Structure 1
């Protein structure tokens, strides 16, 4: 530990860092923690946070008392958070030299906190490591740029670009439409380079001012950290240029939703060979079982891929998002696409996750589904040829409530992720949904106010 802290100390001093943002991810993906002067951070070698932050909802509320005290100590004790020296990033938008350091969470006996999203991902990665496997992932993040809007009752609108005009119509893959926001993305790329984020390409997606950033492939934990940092970076860059960036799954009516597509493969740690391919280059049994596991368990763990009521708006008919867990080669109309690639690069693209999902939990869930398929030998369905939207045999749960019930009843979820985590996560999402149901929508006022 001292050697690792020495490395971190040197890193901070070399860059003359004066403040450190110490953070952990809650279940929703919100960064929670403390901002500390560098000297104090180095003296304390970590921080303490109330463990209750891991049962806090996106609205700032907490789960019901009976569940709260069942999962947490009645004395509302602290958890101990230790910095990960491999998860240290600059904060380029800060006025003073600042770093953010992602922490891992432990109880006072030194055991990993079971409700911590980062610990959940590490638990799944250890399952792979115990079998001599290493997952490789490459996430693709979609998001919208919008006008800044202080009134949540007003629909979001496309922002003004360099031309002084808002974007209209569908501008998929348009270079000119992406260039409308060149000054903003120049800052994004400069800041991400300073943070050593492994960004690949920028793409204009279907919706007005909807963009996609692709990450280079790598280890799942490191990329989950990078997505966490990238979301903060993207929002800060947008605010600097007087627009907003949102990773909501469905922010604008009648426009495409925003996904987090996950390309995933598995290599043998000893040989470095992609275990999804046989020696002759054909698909391996493990690859097919991996797909079988995704097909069987994504519907059981769907709240980890689609965490809010808004997430399920992506899955409505005719929204360009997949609505099932069918699979097919070079087929974007199914939930599980197998891109054309050589044997060493064979992978499956999980197209079901929303951009609003917690990056630690969604990567853990996607990899876990494939893992169970491999260890239990689950066979996939036949691959889909042609359009897959209308396939109904492998449909997803239609509502968040139904999805939470399935996750709660899923024995594999408790077995592999832990009963405490499943109970806590479901309770948080139910508390958020109860809060949502108390809000009267503009649709209800428009169509019911004077009609019923």
Structure 2
């Protein structure tokens, strides 16, 4: 492909040179909404070049759209004095450029855009950037990677609706953990997914069959800062597109059936200084656990119960926070302990890290990463010591976890904890917290009024 390489694009001038070299007729520009869905529109080249300097408009109310485009109340966007549902200015991010594999060369460039005031504080990507700026002000560089569990179906968006989401056909008939037989049969989907990630510059470190029918996992490689969050958001979008283009369907729901385990979106995190030296490793300390790593864990342990609504953003998310399905139920920590919310992983100075096992696969990657980084920084700033390490199975010994470290038991309780959290308001801003809480309370109230199939089976005849 002619023109400068995408990895060299950093400024508006670089983008202009790229456009003049490639001569596309349209460019894709988009943003992630509160749930983490990517919303994109085609923009003519002429309009795109003008927007590089002046900005591009999107409807501000789109930030508050829930899954299925349900409009949620969000203070300052869809409710409140002066709300007129108008367009809002967004700034195109030059170094966010990627190539879309399923588009023609004349319209395969994708750029992300960040909302400016007044909606800027409500956009999830901007929220992550706010927390990242806090780290950078302290001379810290944040590195992350994400792992996603998902379920693949031999269905289409039309077929699942015609079946009313019942009797769905899974891509495999039984559990097939790392089984080459299943992987080989499904190589068409796998190869398309890997090829798409390569084209989109999403570093896919591994993908494999998991323990469960149709159950799969993908791990993204480490990246620095917001690029890691962009990777995660784009991966989820691309995976769903690739599946549907192969007459299949993927769900990242936290728990899609009573028989299925929860689906996670684990986050790995570590910090380095401005010179690139790792900060979580100290050979003079037990387990090589540096003071900064210890305080980072202390902050996470203290704030995970208050921030849970960002890791589990829907009513369904809380079907996952149950024991014995490899989902955490309390803010516990331990070395190589997968029953803990925080699994500490040792190794070389650059590989020693923290795995936060709290986020579901349904979490908005920007918000989940902002929570992990923000809570850890908060702990480091206050030198918070973590509680006792969990060297036991947390599911069998929940009584050993301090009550303050146990998770809220319901979606509604988690909303209240986040609303009342002073650290959340300090890290993320009152404007975001108020708007986010408002959207989640509306969802909670909607689902609280619904009659479920389980209720009909239990009570219809016998009540």
Q: Please report the TM-score for the alignment, with normalisation by the length of structure 1.
A: 0.91
| Structure 1 residues 288 and 194, CA gap change in structure 2 (3 angstroms) | same
Counterpart selection for 1:232 from 230, 233, 237? 237
Counterpart selection for 1:153 from 144, 164, 172? 164
Per the TM alignment, residue 415 of structure 1 is displaced from its structure 2 partner at its CA by 1.3
List per-residue Cα deviations over 1:377-425 (Å, max 9, x = no partner): 1111111113122324232111110000000000111111100100001
Aligned 8 A contact 2:154 2:170 in 1: yes
Report the counterpart of residue 253 of structure 1 in structure 2. Answer: 258
| Structure 1 residues 179 and 15, CA gap change in structure 2 (3 angstroms) | farther
Report the counterpart of residue 383 of structure 1 in structure 2. Answer: 389
Aligned 8 A contact 1:159 1:167 in 2: yes
Aligned 8 A contact 1:15 1:97 in 2: no
| 2:16 matches 1:9 | yes
Aligned runs of 1:226-375 on 2, under 5 Å? 226-270=231-275, 272-278=276-282, 280=284, 282-375=288-381
Aligned 8 A contact 1:33 1:49 in 2: no
Aligned 8 A contact 2:343 2:354 in 1: yes
| Structure 1 residues 97 and 435, CA gap change in structure 2 (3 angstroms) | same
| 2:57 matches 1:48 | yes
CA RMSD of aligned residues (A): 2.2
3-state SS in 1 of match to 2:330? coil
Counterpart selection for 1:119 from 109, 123, 126? 126
Task: State the distance in 2 between where 1:152 and 1:291 align.
Answer: 45
Q: Please report the TM-score for the alignment, with normalisation by the length of structure 2.
A: 0.89
Aligned runs of 1:352-431 on 2, under 5 Å? 352-390=358-396, 391-392=398-399, 393=401, 394-431=405-442
Task: State the distance in 2 between where 1:126 and 1:447 align.
Answer: 52
Counterpart selection for 1:91 from 100, 107, 112? 100
| Structure 1 runs not aligned, ≥5 long | 161-165
Report which stretch shifted further, 13-22 or 402-411: 13-22
| Structure 2 runs not aligned, ≥5 long | 1-8
3-state SS in 1 of match to 2:67? coil
Task: Count residues with an aligned counterpart.
Answer: 441
Task: State the distance in 2 between where 1:122 and 1:296 align.
Answer: 22
Aligned 8 A contact 1:145 1:243 in 2: yes
Per the TM alignment, residue 450 of structure 1 is displaced from its structure 2 partner at its CA by 2.1
| Structure 1 residues 69 and 442, CA gap change in structure 2 (3 angstroms) | closer
Task: State the distance in 2 between where 1:290 and 1:3 align.
Answer: 31
Aligned 8 A contact 1:202 1:214 in 2: yes
